[in-house]
Homo-oligomer: A and B are copies of this chain.
Amino acid sequence: MTPSIPQAADTSSQTQVLFERLRSAVLNLDLMPGQRLTERGLEASYHASRTPVRAALMRLESEGLAQRDGRGWIVAPIDLDEIGALAELREAVETAAVRLAVVRASDADIEALAELLESTRPVGDEEEGVRAGGDFHGELASLSGNAPMTDAVRGAMTRLARTRWLEVRTPESREHAWAEHRAVLAALRARDADEAARLLGAHIRSTNERLVAHLAADRRRLRARGLAVLPAATP
């Protein structure tokens, strides 16, 4: 269920177009975390009337990429607490999903996922690797045949996507992540649920630990760049 979603690509609706443009702008940090957004400002910047602007903002809100701030809107800040919490959610949902996938995914499904993974092998430039990683986790979850789980994973990956610009990822670390994905896939191929869940859980946990440590250390510098980075509460 919900395998790849070819997308009907409603290029028509202004709301749709605007939503996608705003979404990209947020994810690429063209709109900075914490930045104030005004409907009239966006109306002017994107040459659309307030009606689609408001609709797009509401969609961004439901994706967690924009928030209300009093009466107005802001780009969702980077929230270290949220990042940690999302990792916990992902560990719970993704490990459960991969266990279901072990039982439910067809060999063809698994091979398609393997192909996706292989195609990202020559881990492209900087951030392309992380985007590919997000896709992998989403597609892997979809093999569970469970749409709400898949949505939860994709939603979490979306909320986490901006961190790819904030984290220093070396070619080695990307290679390492890719290898871990490959190991999970191997366990899935072998229909070994325990092993697949164990590897996936460890991968999510360790990747997150490195990310949070890095962001916490860089918080001052990131804020200096104008990004709103909310601190982690006392653990």
> Is A91 positioned at the interface, with any CB of B under 8 Å from its CB?
yes
Partner of A92, one of B1, B54, B85, B96: B96
Partner of A96, one of B54, B88, B100, B147: B88
> Is A86 positioned at the interface, with any CB of B under 8 Å from its CB?
yes
> Is A146 positioned at the interface, with any CB of B under 8 Å from its CB?
yes
> Is A148 positioned at the interface, with any CB of B under 8 Å from its CB?
yes
Q: How many copies of this chain does one complex carry?
A: 2
Interface pick from A55-63, A105-113, A169-177: A55-63
Interface residues of A in 81-133 (CB under 8 A from B): 81-82, 85-86, 88-89, 91-93, 95-97, 100
Q: Using A58-B55, A58-B58, A58-B59 as known contacts, say yes or no to A148 and B92 having CB atoms under 8 A apart.
A: no
Q: Using A55-B58, A58-B58, A58-B59 as known contacts, say yes or no to A148 and B96 having CB atoms under 8 A apart.
A: no
- Would B55 and A146 count as touching, CB distance under 8 A? no
Nearest-Cβ distance from residue A5 to partner chain B, whole angstroms = 15
> Is A230 positioned at the interface, with any CB of B under 8 Å from its CB?
no
Interface pairs (17), CB distance under 8 Å: A1-B81, A54-B55, A58-B62, A62-B62, A85-B145, A85-B147, A85-B148, A85-B149, A86-B148, A88-B144, A88-B146, A88-B149, A89-B96, A89-B152, A92-B92, A92-B95, A148-B159
Q: Which 3 interchain pairs have the tightest Cβ spacing?
A: A92-B96, A62-B62, A85-B146
